[in-house]
Amino acid sequence: MGKNPTYDELLQRVKVLEKLQEDEMLQQKKLQESLAAALFNYETIFNNAPFSISYLDLEMRIVKINPLMEKLIGFKSDEVEGRYCYDVWGQYAGDDKRKGRERICGVCGVEKVLNDGKIHTYERRVADSYVKVIANPVKDIDGTVIGALECGNNITEKKRDEEALRKSEEKFRTMADFTYDWEYWTDPDDKFIYVSPSVKRITGYTANDFYEDAGLLLDLIHPDDRQVFVDHKHLELSDGQLSPLEFRLVTRTGDERWISHGCRKVYAEDGTYLGVRGNNRDITELKKSGAAKAKLQNKLMQARKMEAIATLAGGVAHDFNNALTSVIGNIELVKMDPAGHNIKECAQAVEDSAYRMADLTKQLLAYARGGKYQVKQLSLRKFIEKVIHETGYSVDEKIEIVTNLSCNQDQIMADSSQLQMVFNAILTNAIEAIGGDRGWVEISCHNQELSEHFISTHPGSEYGSYVCFTIRDNGCGMGDETLKRIFEPFYSTKFAGRGLGMAAAYGIVKNHGGYITIESEPGSGTAVQVYLPLEVPESSEIYKIAPKKTVLLIEDEEILQDVEKSLLEALGYHVLVSGNGKDALRMVEDYNLTIDIALIDVHLPDITVDMLYLKLIKLRPAMKVFLCSGSALEWTSQKALNAGAEGFMQKPFSLQKLKEMLAKAGNMS
């Protein structure tokens, strides 16, 4: 028998065993703690995963689901644990016609995972949601498949966006495919990614022709229009402001078609450049109808011109023949019985008729070219007051003329006699519009800066400072048709050939750099506004009657030489007479005494008046030169005035007018 262990030895063995037991318990505790930590981590990851998770066993029973899966299927984990997945959320859940595993979804990846142990991805619908699922095999330590994890990502919003995009693309394609215009879309590389079927009707080429040849569009454009389109594309690519473009293209059959083109860049929501969307509309027929319309409008305009000329000719003939009847009649009366008739009365009647014809001629010239002969600075307010006072409009007592001349600045550059013609024409129309009824005429003036809106709505007007006078009445007013034709010569609502008043007024105001507007409605009266450019005030001139001086009269018509010489002599001037420029220059060189004034008819047979003026002044620098003519101021006359000629007077003129003009020379010396 062996020796029995001693007490100390036994005690030592017990301590060793206790130590081993203590170490084992500590190790077990650590393992338990590690397992608890692992389970906690698993639960944390499982429950807080950003996607839905379900753990299934080999029978496809639900072992556990995480909170996102609970939210997706509408059940708590303890409500579905142990149940078959296909009975809970499967494609055929609730379908009593299918039993057991027949309810397994047709897209199920779990069954495949359990069979082959591989990962499978698929999409499936759960309730009202779409889920993208990744099915993973769960294996034991030996690698044996013991279950499966379904990890799902909710893609419902993505599916809805895709569906909305699909419907939008379908709608776009349907609209674009059936639109009458030719629509297209090019990518950032300028290649066609969409061309509507209408392209074949317009060009003869199919959409595929454009897909295969990105440069086909440019090749089809007419050679004369190609550069315009290239420039348009350059602006498009450089983010320039584009305007609609029209160009011609040549179709497959060689026909020319007019195209109205518009395009814009296309960007994604994140700002990515997607290319260019374009629209091409066939406007060939519109162009043809436009050309036909323009041709018809030209014919209509020509017809209206002929009508206006006929009215003008008839009106002139009417007024001239009336005046000539008076002239001829009075002359015949004197010739028949010189002693039996009052010659002075007959002469006065002839003179009155002559001035009527002279006024008509002035109006004709004002209508044709505008009147602006003796321009000087004047106060519009004082001019209006003077005209009203001097003309002494003795209208019916029922009509009240009211003035409101409150403009602060009223200096204008104008020909006072021509401006008076404008004023009289408008005022006469206003008085006649009231007729025999009780009424009023208001005459006012004010300063105005023409605004951009006024300029854009009144073609022909220009920016600047203006003084405007308005003549407003409460007469019968005018309709649209009358307003359209108010400035036509001899147009009247009473009868044809009535006068040139408003037509002449329009020409005069326009030639003074001004503008006329008329506002009127039937029964509501009329307001005529005349805008004239404002001038900086200058000191006014006071003309004095000159003492007796020598005048060189240069006139090529002998009958006028005699009359004008007699008038000048009646005013106390010594008169030298020449019939042309050559004789006049020789006379100026040979005459030893002073020649104070030259009065020149602007239409001479041998020299233009501007050249004659320069030669006369070279010979006689101190001589004052005045021009006169039976026609309007022409460019040669204007050149002479610009070079220094003192003034212009239109024929016929009265003795008083001649006296007033030549009296200026006395003040100038």
Secondary structure (DSSP) of 422-471: HHHHHHHHHHHHHTTS-EEEEEEEEEEEPPHHHHHHSTT--SSEEEEEEE
Highest mean pLDDT among 227-231, 297-301, 323-327, 431-435: 227-231
Neighbouring residues of 108: CB distance < 8 A, sequence distance ≥ 6? 86, 90, 122, 124
485 by Cβ neighbours in 10 Å (0-12 / 13-18 / 19+) ranks as: middle
DSSP conformation letters of 331-389: HHHHHH-TTTS-HHHHHHHHHHHHHHHHHHHHHHHHHHH---SS-EEEEHHHHHHHHHH
| Secondary structure element (H or E) that encloses residue 121, with its range | strand 120-126
How far is Cα 134 from Cα 124, in angstroms, rounded to an integer? 11
Residue with tokens 């960007």: 267
Q: What is the pLDDT of residue 541?
A: 39
Q: Report pLDDT for 543.
A: 38
Query: Does the pLDDT at position 547 exceed 70?
Result: no
Q: How far is CA 445 from CA 402, 415, 465, in A?
A: 12, 18, 14
Q: Is the pLDDT of residue 540 over 50?
A: no
Q: Quick one: which of 116, 112, 113, 94 has its CA closest to 103?
A: 94
Least confident of 19-23, 233-237, 555-559: 233-237
d(CA 239, CA 666): 70
Which of 389, 427, 385, 392 shows the shortest CA–CA distance to 407?
385
Q: Does an H or E element contain 202, and which?
A: helix 198-203
- Winning range, highest mean pLDDT, from 524-528, 532-536, 657-661: 524-528
* Residue-level pLDDT at 498: 41
Output 551 or 629, whichever has higher pLDDT: 551
Phi, psi for 139 (deg, rounded to 5): -120, 150
State the burial class of residue 273 (Cβ atoms within 10 Å of its Cβ: 0-12, 13-18, 19+). exposed
**Distance between first and last Cα of the chain:** 174
pLDDT tens digits for range 3-29: 777 877 777 877 777 788 777 788 877
Closest residue by Cα to residue 251 from 217, 285, 290, 283? 217
d(CA 112, CA 376): 108
Higher pLDDT, 3 or 132: 132
Question: In angstroms, rounded to a whole number, what is the distance separating the alpha carbons of residues 537 and 533?
Answer: 12
Q: Report the alpha-carbon distance of residue 150 to residue 344 in Å, rounded.
A: 130
> Is residue 368 scored above 60 in pLDDT?
no
Mean pLDDT of 217-240: 81
Q: How far, CA to CA in Å, does 342 sit from each of 14, 346, 347, 543, 584?
A: 178, 6, 9, 38, 42
pLDDT(573) > 60:
yes
Give the pair of three-digit tokens for residue 482.
Answer: 């009358």
Measured distance CA(44)–CA(479) in Å, rounded: 89
Position 497 pLDDT exceeds 80? no
pLDDT attached to residue 539: 38
DSSP 100: G
Long-range contacts (CB closer than 8 Å, 24 or more residues apart) made by 261-267: 261/229, 261/232, 263/236, 265/236, 265/239, 266/185
Express as a percent the part of the chain with pLDDT over 70: 83
Closest CA to 515 of 567, 470, 547, 574: 470
- Using 50, 70 and 90 to split pLDDT, how confident is the model at 496? very low
Element (H, E) at 599: strand 597-601
Q: What is the DSSP code string of 264-291?
A: EEEE-TT--EEEEEEEEEE-HHHHHHHH
Convert the pLDDT of each residue in 307-354 to its tens digit: 655 555 656 666 667 677 777 777 777 777 777 667 777 788 778 777
Q: Which two tokens stand for residue 596?
A: 């104070």
pTM of the model: 0.36
What are 420's two structure tokens?
A: 């008076």
Give the C-alpha distances (Å, rounded to integers) separating 407 from 384, 403, 467, 468, 536.
12, 12, 8, 9, 14
- Residue 645's closest CA among 665, 667, 619? 665
Give the length of the chain.
669
- Is the pLDDT confidence value at 366 over 80? no
> Cα–chain-centroid distance for residue 397?
50
The average pLDDT across 381-407 equals 75
User: What percent helix, strand, coil does the chain show, rounded to 5?
Assistant: 45, 25, 30
* Average pLDDT value for the chain: 80
